[in-house]
Structure 1
Amino acid sequence: MSPARRSLRLFVRSPGAMIGLVIVLAVALGAIFAPWAAPYDPIRFNPVDRLQGPSFAHLLGTDLYGRDTFSRVMHGGRISLSVATLSVLFALTIGAFFGALAGFLGGVVDTVVMRATDILLAFPAVLLAIALLAFLGGGFWNLTLAIAIAFTAPFARVARASVLQLRGVMFVEASTALGATPTRLLWRHVLPNALAPLIVEITLRLAYAILAEAALSFLGLGTPPPAPAWGQMIADGRPLLEQAPWASIGPGLAIMIAVLGFNLLGDGLRDALDPRLR
């Protein structure tokens, strides 16, 4: 059996991985189809229905302005998942590129890249994002960029470690002896074989990015209102915890479920792709 088929078989047989995959797909589909599946307009005020409890008409109740919490949670998923996905893709592109170069070339390049990652890793990710947003200002794209910069260093570390392991293996040395250029070695032989740990890191960083986006939105540094964001919804419902706790419980549960799904998926991918754990 080929390694790819063996990894797929292990992944499918993992209950945690399957549960995580189902959760991630459900959250993603709910966010994608929110404009058509959400029962109410997420930003239209309806004072007549303000602070209603959960019911068949409003599954998660309504907020202070009469907006349906369930509809806002679905639309908030679009913002949270979009920010998380774009920021992780940007961090992966930049971090993996420089990390691979550092591990493959070594010397001065390795020293410079690793010292830069040390500087980034010296700050907690959310604190670094807050500092960047204080300079850039809030908003969707600035929030995405701030989280991406904060997550670039971990991807660089993972890519460098993978390339260092592969640089001295037999097939790389054979390609070098046959006259392969360093660029060809890196893109055709080293990076494709270093993807497994990066794939696992992507799923785990997506969970961290969702938490970071929620924390920054809670502090008022995310997408400006009235656009629904999970962190902003929790902040808006905080003064109403005794009177209408569902205004914060709904988005809080959405964050918890989404993060749990990505963590379970990441654990399953790690177990399936890492030969040492088979």
Structure 2
Amino acid sequence: MRTLLWRGSLAGALVCGIGLLPWLAHTDPALTVLKARAQDRDPDPEVLAAVRSQLRLDDGPLALLGRWLGGLPRGDAGRSWISGAEAGPTVLQALGASLLLMAVAFLVAGCTAAVVCAPTLYRGGRTRPGGTGSAVLAALPEFLTASVLATVVGVQLGWLPALGWYGPQYTLLPALALGLPAGAVLGRLLDDQLPGAFAEPWVRAAAARGLRARAIARQAVRRCLPGLLPSTALFVVGMTGGAVAVEQIFDIPGLGSTTLQAALAQDLPVLQAGTLALVLLAALAAGAARLGVHLLIGPALRDGAVPALPRPAVPVRRTTPLALAAALLAVLAAGLPRDPLAVDTRARLQPPSWERPLGTDALGRDLLARIAHGALDTLLLALAISAGTLLAGLLLGLLPRLSGPLVDTVNAVPPVLAALLVTAVAGGGPATPALAVAAVAWAPLAAHTSALLRQERAALHLTATRALGAGRWYLLRHELLPAVVPPVTRHALLRLPGTALALASLGFLGLGAQPPSPEWGHLLAENQPYAERAPWTVLAPAAVLAVLGALAVTVAGGVRRSRPGTGTG
């Protein structure tokens, strides 16, 4: 009951905060609504007074919020301040489109994760250094992938529809843009646990009895799923409400784009209804994940009979991260002495040459200089956010009763909406994108920490140590934290490119860095319209992001701890 009250309080606080958005931002909602209805309308005092009277804005935000909440039990979510249509059916229709897109994207993600894990499963848990391919795939910006798919596959080749939402075939290209990066991340998380599952004694016993390798592989995947399901639930919600850029590129009337448009126009009834739908979806996804964990190992967790996954030493090819780091340093060394703001209109969209190794953009600026100078902002900011979210995820993950409902609620807020809320509360500025990303980026790490902690607490070795008289703090320092911190740290490193991509997405949507900043996200956003004419303008920053992703994964492979006595796998 306390958990339900806590979840309800958090959801209510979020929805109420959304309802106060215009007043928190110190803006006139009547003026914003008028501009959204008719941009060429003169906002004279009489017109604004008519809008305030129609929307009953003079009653104050609390009265408006009270009327909206009072209508929910009757199924009345109010009417749009812009179109006058009922908010409930509008949001439900958008939710239906997003759920269909999410289902197809999740299928793509599952197939991608299977491909990523296939080599480890085929070799019976014996991993090899590598994983750079999945790292590059995870580091691809969703909006860039969507743009390339729409241009090449949809327009130039004409294989699939590239614009609109008129049937199931229209889901394929956006589902690929969403599912490929998500599947790469999920596949890496699963591949990280598989060596430990294959190192358990039951694998040798099953092989000795003649059980087929395929059946052993299935059981190994089943053994690792409990630690992965909470993160999977977060991806489900993220692919539903967080697919704003992809929905805009493919002109999909989904919940993400509907919520963003309502937020920009301060259409509070639609925005509140959309946020409530996202919160409910997050709660359902989290509940399904917990049910899945219970069905898989529920009785064993209750009885403390789950063996801890061994953590075998995995070989790390040190030359790979050194080569990737050298490539990034080479870009910085070559580009930092150049001027990133120098404009040469006679050299617009020039291809790579000896003078300009990465070519120029639409204003004739040197792309190598802009990428190198933007790296100082992007990398330092992404590293700082990753370090902060790792610490927050570990601390909150150690308190699952507190963080569980908070994770579900925070995960329902897309980074775009979080940026709007941060802007309303703290004002605009260069720190706004960082605060918005940090406000939601800790949730997957906390969910991963809680899942691993719950499984580790039921381990047999922990039960034996507790029986010998070990106290709570001893178990935390010497058993729980050493088991949880390395995989969560690898998870955080794996999400380092994703943090940079979240900042890039905000820049693409106009909520991040602004001109003439050379931040990588802004580079991708400003050069995306020229992707067909001058592909190097987007391939260069995308390639650097891909190198960053490969570097993060290869470094993450070295953050391991081999427990004595568990074998080497």
Query: TM-score range with shorter-chain normalisation?
Result: 0.7 to 0.9
Which of the numbers 448, 471, 480 marks the counterpart of 1:158?
448
- Pick closer, same or farther for the CA change 1:205–1:232 going to 2, 3 Å: same
Deviations 1:36-73 (A, max 9, x none): 75351112334454433321000111223332101111
Q: Confirm or deny that 1:142 pairs with 2:432.
A: yes
- Pick closer, same or farther for the CA change 1:24–1:222 going to 2, 3 Å: farther
**Higher deviation after alignment, 155-164 or 41-50:** 41-50
**Other-structure match for 1:204:** 494
| Deviation of 1:131 (Å) | 3.8
Using the alignment, how far apart are the partners of 2:324 and 2:427 within structure 1?
A: 30
Give the letter aligned to residue 146 of structure 1: A
Q: Confirm or deny that 1:78 pairs with 2:368.
A: no
- Pick closer, same or farther for the CA change 1:129–1:265 going to 2, 3 Å: farther
**Other-structure match for 1:228:** 518
Q: Which has the higher contact order (CA 8 A, sep 6+)?
A: 1
**Other-structure match for 1:107:** none
Which of the numbers 533, 537, 553 marks the counterpart of 1:247?
537
Using the alignment, how far apart are the partners of 1:5 and 1:184 within structure 2?
A: 20
Scaled by the length of structure 2, the TM-score of the pair is 0.40
Give the letter aligned to residue 222 of structure 1: G
Give the letter aligned to residue 543 of structure 2: L
Which of the numbers 352, 374, 388 marks the counterpart of 1:54?
352
Give the letter aligned to residue 453 of structure 2: V
Give the letter aligned to residue 11 of structure 1: V
**Higher deviation after alignment, 76-85 or 243-252:** 243-252
- Pick closer, same or farther for the CA change 1:158–1:171 going to 2, 3 Å: same
Query: Given that residues 83 and 143 in structure 1 are in contact (C-alpha distance below 8 angstroms), is that contact kept between their aligned partners in structure 2?
Result: no
Which of the numbers 303, 316, 323 marks the counterpart of 1:11?
316
Which of the numbers 361, 371, 383 marks the counterpart of 1:63?
361
Deviations 1:206-245 (A, max 9, x none): 1211221211122222233322012211222234445544
Using the alignment, how far apart are the partners of 2:511 and 2:518 within structure 1?
A: 13
Query: Given that residues 504 and 522 in structure 2 are in contact (C-alpha distance below 8 angstroms), is that contact kept between their aligned partners in structure 1?
Result: yes
SS at match of 2:398: helix
Q: Confirm or deny that 1:25 pairs with 2:325.
A: yes
**Other-structure match for 1:105:** none
Scaled by the length of structure 1, the TM-score of the pair is 0.75
Instruction: In structure 1, list runs of 5 or more residues that go unmatched.
Output: 103-109
| Deviation of 1:90 (Å) | 1.2
**Other-structure match for 1:115:** 405
Query: Given that residues 390 and 489 in structure 2 are in contact (C-alpha distance below 8 angstroms), is that contact kept between their aligned partners in structure 1?
Result: no
Identity of aligned residues (%): 31
Using the alignment, how far apart are the partners of 2:528 and 2:504 within structure 1?
A: 14
Which of the numbers 169, 179, 190 marks the counterpart of 2:480?
190
Deviations 1:78-107 (A, max 9, x none): 2222222111111111111011133xxxxx
Using the alignment, how far apart are the partners of 1:128 and 1:22 within structure 2?
A: 38
Query: Given that residues 423 and 432 in structure 2 are in contact (C-alpha distance below 8 angstroms), is that contact kept between their aligned partners in structure 1?
Result: no
Which of the numbers 383, 392, 399 marks the counterpart of 1:94?
392
SS at match of 1:194: helix
- Pick closer, same or farther for the CA change 1:27–1:133 going to 2, 3 Å: farther
**Higher deviation after alignment, 239-248 or 145-154:** 239-248
| Deviation of 1:156 (Å) | 0.9
- Pick closer, same or farther for the CA change 1:79–1:144 going to 2, 3 Å: same
Tell me how large the CA RMSD over aligned residues is. Answer: 3.6
- Pick closer, same or farther for the CA change 1:166–1:82 going to 2, 3 Å: same
**Higher deviation after alignment, 143-152 or 130-139:** 130-139
- Pick closer, same or farther for the CA change 1:84–1:41 going to 2, 3 Å: same
Instruction: In structure 2, list runs of 5 or more residues that go unmatched.
Output: 1-198, 200-309
Query: Given that residues 45 and 67 in structure 1 are in contact (C-alpha distance below 8 angstroms), is that contact kept between their aligned partners in structure 2?
Result: yes
Query: Given that residues 196 and 273 in structure 1 are in contact (C-alpha distance below 8 angstroms), is that contact kept between their aligned partners in structure 2?
Result: no
Using the alignment, how far apart are the partners of 2:568 and 2:506 within structure 1?
A: 36
Give the letter aligned to residue 7 of structure 1: A
Using the alignment, how far apart are the partners of 1:237 and 1:129 within structure 2?
A: 25
Query: Given that residues 80 and 214 in structure 1 are in contact (C-alpha distance below 8 angstroms), is that contact kept between their aligned partners in structure 2?
Result: no
Give the letter aligned to residue 313 of structure 2: S
Query: Given that residues 378 and 519 in structure 2 are in contact (C-alpha distance below 8 angstroms), is that contact kept between their aligned partners in structure 1?
Result: yes
**Other-structure match for 2:508:** 218
- Pick closer, same or farther for the CA change 1:273–1:82 going to 2, 3 Å: farther
Query: Given that residues 138 and 221 in structure 1 are in contact (C-alpha distance below 8 angstroms), is that contact kept between their aligned partners in structure 2?
Result: no
- Pick closer, same or farther for the CA change 1:127–1:273 going to 2, 3 Å: farther
Using the alignment, how far apart are the partners of 1:207 and 1:116 within structure 2?
A: 24
- Pick closer, same or farther for the CA change 1:169–1:234 going to 2, 3 Å: closer
Larger radius of gyration: 2
- Pick closer, same or farther for the CA change 1:97–1:23 going to 2, 3 Å: farther
Query: Given that residues 504 and 525 in structure 2 are in contact (C-alpha distance below 8 angstroms), is that contact kept between their aligned partners in structure 1?
Result: no
- Pick closer, same or farther for the CA change 1:199–1:215 going to 2, 3 Å: same
- Pick closer, same or farther for the CA change 1:60–1:202 going to 2, 3 Å: same
